[in-house]
Amino acid sequence: MLIARRISRHLTWLIASLVLMGLLTAWWLMAMRTSDKLPGGGSSVGLTLGLIGGLLIAFEMALVLKKRLRSKLWMMFQTRLWMKAHIWLGLLTFPILLLHSGIRWGGWLSATLLALLALVWLSGIYGLILQQFLPKIMLDDVPGEAITSQVGHIVGKFSSDARRMMALHFDLDGDEATPRLTMPSGKAVAEKPKTPYISVGSVRAHTKTESAEPEKKSTVSAERLLESYVKQISPFLEEGDRLRTPLSSSSRSRDYFQTLRAVIPTTTHETMEALEGLCEQRRQLDSQARLQFWLHNWLLMHLPLSWALFVLMFLHVFVALKYL
């Protein structure tokens, strides 16, 4: 949930959180002044803070149930409102339970709970920060964003489209996955695609399969385009930035194609520009994958730690009541 650009919508939650935390802190400080020691979990203020903190943790974990259960009871609450509460009440959880502990580690169980709470709290803040910036970066830098589940299919289309473009100038024989390219026999062998091209982001340029028959070429310049396709372009379209290639960088790719443009026949320039566009969109898919990794994978730490904290909290309550 974005906060930075919609702070006015969170202003009520911010003020309410600060007021509540201020009141609880003032109560804790008054208890400390009265008893001349740091109030722990056994004091009245400590028990109250512990109860509030436990309820907050339970509410935070209820978000998981809301996402899993689509019953009418859960759907009564707007997701946006629930997320606001999850953020601001979650931020209150650590300072409240820190006061509950008397700002002491205590025994092994209390220390473990406090450490888990700190990790969950910090990982949540980290995820919140990522959500403020990464979506905007993705919107600006990845105009060709695609549905994650379709990326593999789109990458396959990139390779097949590039092969059709090259077929305008060369005979393509052999297996589709590992084509054997030969110099042109004088006749274009490209056929019109049976399915429409898939466009990611802005509409992609490609060569016209119904264009005039290409000029016969058997020169070194034509071989240069063939060599570039086999050694650089085709592997990059299939593997992306997993390969160490100049095409992984926008600036180096631009220089690469500019150099290539100067030596290949003019009849192949349109094809080369289309191949350059495919490489650009392949880089965008790689950028999207990297940004989505950072945007979502923090949950791999946040959720397991949250569940561990939730389970140990009940053990802590049982032990505390047993020796109270």
CB atoms < 10 A from the CB of 25, how many?
14
Distance of CA 285 to the CA centre of its chain: 12
CA distance 126 to 122: 6
Q: Given this model, what pLDDT does residue 186 score?
A: 40
Domain ranges for the chain: 4-144+298-322, 148-295
User: What 8-state DSSP symbol labels residue 267?
Assistant: G
pLDDT tens, residue by residue, 33-90? 888 888 988 889 999 999 999 999 999 998 877 666 655 555 556 677 888 889 999 9
Q: Which of 301, 311, 309, 312 is nearest to 122 (CA)?
A: 301
Q: Is the pLDDT of residue 182 over 70?
A: no
Q: Given this model, what pLDDT does residue 202 score?
A: 40
Q: What are phi and psi of 203, to 5 degrees?
A: -65, 135
Q: What are phi and psi of 318, to 5 degrees?
A: -65, -45
For the chain, how far is it from start to end, CA to CA, in angstroms? Answer: 41
Higher-scoring residue by pLDDT: 252, 189: 252
Q: Which of 231, 225, 232, 237 is nearest to 277 (CA)?
A: 237
Higher-scoring residue by pLDDT: 229, 149: 229
Residue ranges of E strands in 21-79: none
DSSP, residue by residue, 129-189: HHHHHHHHHHHHH-TT---GGGHHHHHHHHHHHHHHHHTTTSEEES-SSS-EEE---SS--
Higher-scoring residue by pLDDT: 146, 306: 306
140-154, 220-234, 257-271, 298-312: lowest mean pLDDT where?
140-154
Q: Given this model, what pLDDT does residue 239 score?
A: 87
Q: How many residues are recorded in the chain? A: 324
How far is it between the farthest Cα atoms of the chain? 98
pLDDT tens, residue by residue, 82-136? 888 899 999 999 999 999 999 988 888 889 999 999 999 999 999 998 888 887 8
pLDDT tens, residue by residue, 159-169? 888 888 888 77
pLDDT tens, residue by residue, 251-294? 999 999 999 888 888 888 888 899 999 999 888 888 888 888 88
What is the chain's mean pLDDT, rounded?
79
Q: Is the pLDDT of residue 16 over 50?
A: yes
